[in-house]
Amino acid sequence: MFKVEDIRKDFPILSRKVNDKPLVYFDNAATSQTPKQVIDTIVDYYSNYNANIHRGVHTLSQEATDLYEQARHKIQAHFNAKFSHEIIFTSGTTHSINLVANGFSSILKKEDEIIVSALEHHSNIVPWQMLCERTGATLKVIPMNQEGELVISEFDKILSEKTKLVFVNHVSNALGTINPIEYLIEKTHQFGAAILIDGAQSCPHIKPDLQALNVDFYVTSAHKICGPTGVGMLYGKEEWLKKLPPYQGGGEMIAEVTFEKTTYADLPHKFEAGTPNICGGIAFGAAIDYMNAIGFNTIASYENDLLEYATNELLKIDGLKIYGTSKHKTAVISFNLENIHPYDVGSILDKLGIAVRTGHHCAQPIMDYYKIPGTVRASFSFYNTKAEIDTLVNGVKKAKMMLS
């Protein structure tokens, strides 16, 4: 049975105060909090196993290597990848995307096209723009509508034989919209193109089955799913990862080095140059264990409850407008108060101990579409409560009174 009060005991930070008020943490879409099971893993690693991996014959190095590779297997099992060498450890989503974009530099030609969606995080826009500059390929955009959904009929129109790659996030970090990735993947494949799904915002709520989805690339960051910052993953189908050239040169990614020629190591090491975030990778595995012990269905149904409650309560406030009203969304509410700048609302909420995000949420094209400077974004997690939402609603009312 899911008892939120028990869950909250796993998160030491949730009992701290901010500005003399109990912390209400509603910035989960930016980064999630860390349970003690993950913190303990980090302490345990540095207390007992710290060593460089894949190199030494000594015991510590072998133990650290085993833990790191076990984490890779946990991640493989969780996302249901076919092979563990299809899981590449990276520093996070941004790094993963850049790795793929860089790899396609040598594949794309001038007449090729790539497609992104209007709902992307900047980290899923800028690397592709840079790729287009390097290769001369053309970037096309799937437009969005007022509800904050992708206009799929437009996707069908811009997709063609020229399309080589499609990039879409599973869930928009700014609005919470869940995109119909099954359809997008199938349709993309009909045209022989590859598709990358950015799972950074969906993986805390939805457990994907990468083989069933038949997706070519999937990327995410550990810190969005109760793990540490500075570590994440790239999943790529074996055939694609074999085709892409390495991203960075260095130790650990080579088979043989002479000054005439270097041959690259097998997957996954080809893409893992240098000493990785060993502890981070192991803690990423611990975070996945933690989330699975609660269960993703339990998490999703609890969070949907919070979303419905918060949406209803916030909409009772006169002049409050919610951006992103799709029926398919995760527990994210982006909103503004009429004639009040989101930053001012955020500052007042902070004084009340409430952490929300204000601004463009690294998704400026969405803000341009709505013709607003930004929004206040409250994003919920399974460790939040309805009582905290009441605190938010009262805080927003207070902000409205003070600012209008």
Ligand X SMILES: *Cc1c(COP(=O)(O)O)cnc(C)c1O
Piece in contact with ligand X (CB under 6 A), picked from 90-98, 158-166, 205-213, 378-386: 90-98
Query: β-strand 254-257 against 232-236: which pairing, if any?
Result: unpaired
CB of 402 to ligand X, least distance (A): 31
Strand partners, 177: 329
Q: Check residue 32 for interaction with ligand X (CB under 6 A).
A: no
Contact at 8 Å (CB) between 53 and 61?
Answer: yes
- Cis peptide preceding 342, ω within 30 of 0: no
User: Which residues are CB-contacts of 376 (< 8 A; sequence separation ≥ 6)?
Assistant: 334, 335, 336, 342, 345, 346, 349, 356, 357, 358, 396
Report H helices in 249-322.
Answer: 278-294, 296-315
Is residue 177 close enough to count as binding ligand X by CB under 6 A?
A: no
H-assigned helices in 49-120: 59-79, 93-104
Q: Does 123 bind ligand X (CB under 6 A)?
A: yes
By CB under 6 A, how many residues form the interface with ligand X?
A: 14
Which span sits near ligand X by CB under 6 A: 61-69, 92-100, 143-151, 302-310?
92-100
By DSSP bridging, strand 194-198 and strand 217-221 are: parallel
Identity of the residue, 168 or 352, whose beta carbon is nearer to ligand X in the bound complex: 168
200 binds ligand X (CB under 6 A): yes
Nearer to ligand X, 116 or 396 (CB): 116
Catalytic positions, please?
Answer: 362
Is residue 94 part of the contact set for ligand X (CB under 6 A)?
Answer: yes
Q: How many Cα neighbours within 13 Å face the side chain of 305?
A: 13
Q: Does 198 bind ligand X (CB under 6 A)?
A: yes
Q: Does 93 bind ligand X (CB under 6 A)?
A: yes
CA dihedral 261, 277, 99, 360 (to 10 degrees): -160
Q: Give the contact letters, 202-221, x = binds to ligand X (CB under 6 A), - = no.
A: -------------------x
Q: Does residue number 201 form part of the binding site for ligand X (CB under 6 A)? A: yes
Handedness of CA 288, 291, 295, 300 (dihedral sign): negative
Can residue 357 be called a binding residue for ligand X (CB under 6 A)? no
- In 3-state terms, what secondary structure has residue 353? coil
Segment contacting ligand X by CB under 6 A, of 117-125, 159-167, 257-265, 348-356: 117-125
Residues 292-351 that bind ligand X (CB under 6 A): none
The count of other CB atoms within 10 Å of the CB of residue 185 is 18
Nearer to ligand X among residue 108 and residue 233 (C-beta) = 233
Question: Interface with ligand X by CB under 6 A: which residues?
Answer: 92-94, 121, 123-124, 169, 173, 198, 200-201, 221, 224, 232
